[in-house]
Amino acid sequence: MRQQINLLQYLLDAWDLTSQAFQIRGKSIPLTVEDIYFLIGLSRRSASISLSGSARGGESVRDYVRRYCREGSQPSKDGKIIIQDVTDRSLRTILFTFGRMAGSASLHVANRSYMQYALECLELKVFNWCDAILPVMKEQLTKVKSGRLKNFGYGSILVAFALEKIPLMQPQYIALSLPPPIEPRM
């Protein structure tokens, strides 16, 4: 585990704030939607989703709280849905996952958009997750690099990216030549 921490720190140090790419040994190595798709296999087709904006339509936060939360629940002070008040376990899990994917500092609450997307997920709607994750991942890298964020939530994806995309980090194989087999003696 210790090696992974060092590798993550190396990659965070290599992140260039201006080019939004990794600068390693004088080469610029961008992180692309195709990389996200290749590494995690999530959908790139179908409906767009934004983890940092607001979705169109849907109900108000108060209506969502009334329909999907325990009786007597109220929105949080900043007008969001308190996830622990949501009665459906699947919906709670999806809301928490959206917060993690978006890099939210407030994992205990969900905004109206997250609730709308979560309800659509329960209806088996397919989203374009790769396009949604890439900008959030780049934003987190930039915030960590500039000291505005201490935690980086995409470490495992970043390590997989490095091992796949950065030649100096790929395992090296040594080819051995073996003599031909010897016939057994009787």
Residue range 83-142, pLDDT digits in tens: 999 999 999 999 998 888 877 778 899 999 899 989 988 888 888 888 888 888 898 899
On whether residue 179 sits in a domain, the answer given is no
Structure tokens at 80: 């969001």
Higher pLDDT, 17 or 159: 17
Residues 116 and 142 in one domain: no
Q: What is the mean pLDDT of the chain?
A: 84
Residues 112 and 136 in one domain: no
| Measured torsion, CA atoms of residues 156, 108, 83, 99, in degrees rounded to the nearest 10 | -30
Ramachandran class of 82: left when φ > 0, alpha when ψ lies in -120 to 50, beta otherwise: beta
On whether residue 153 sits in a domain, the answer given is yes
On whether residue 81 sits in a domain, the answer given is yes
Q: Are 106 and 81 in contact (CB under 8 A)?
A: no
Q: How many CA atoms lie within 13 A of 57 on its CB side?
A: 4
User: The dihedral of CA 5, 12, 133, 69: what is its sign?
Assistant: positive
On whether residue 54 sits in a domain, the answer given is no
Residues 114 and 145 in one domain: no
Residues 100 and 133 in one domain: no
> Which range (27-36, 51-60, 93-102) has the least confidence?
51-60
On whether residue 109 sits in a domain, the answer given is yes
pLDDT band of 156, cuts 50, 70, 90: confident
Residues 109 and 161 in one domain: no
Residues listed for the chain: 186
On whether residue 183 sits in a domain, the answer given is no
| pTM of the entire predicted model | 0.69
Partners of 82 in beta bridges: 109
User: The dihedral of CA 65, 70, 74, 77: what is its sign?
Assistant: negative
- Describe the crossing of helices 33-40 and 129-145 by its angle, rounded to 10 degrees: 110
Q: How many CA atoms lie within 13 A of 23 on its CB side?
A: 9
Q: Are 157 and 39 in contact (CB under 8 A)?
A: yes
On whether residue 49 sits in a domain, the answer given is no
Q: Could you give the number of structural domains in the chain?
A: 2
Look up the domain containing 26 and give its range.
2-41+129-169
pLDDT of residue 1: 41
Residues 138 and 163 in one domain: yes
Instruction: Give the E-state strand segments of the chain in sequence order.
Output: 15-16, 21-24, 27-30, 81-82, 109-110
On whether residue 37 sits in a domain, the answer given is yes
Structure tokens at 46: 């179908």
Partners of 110 in beta bridges: 81
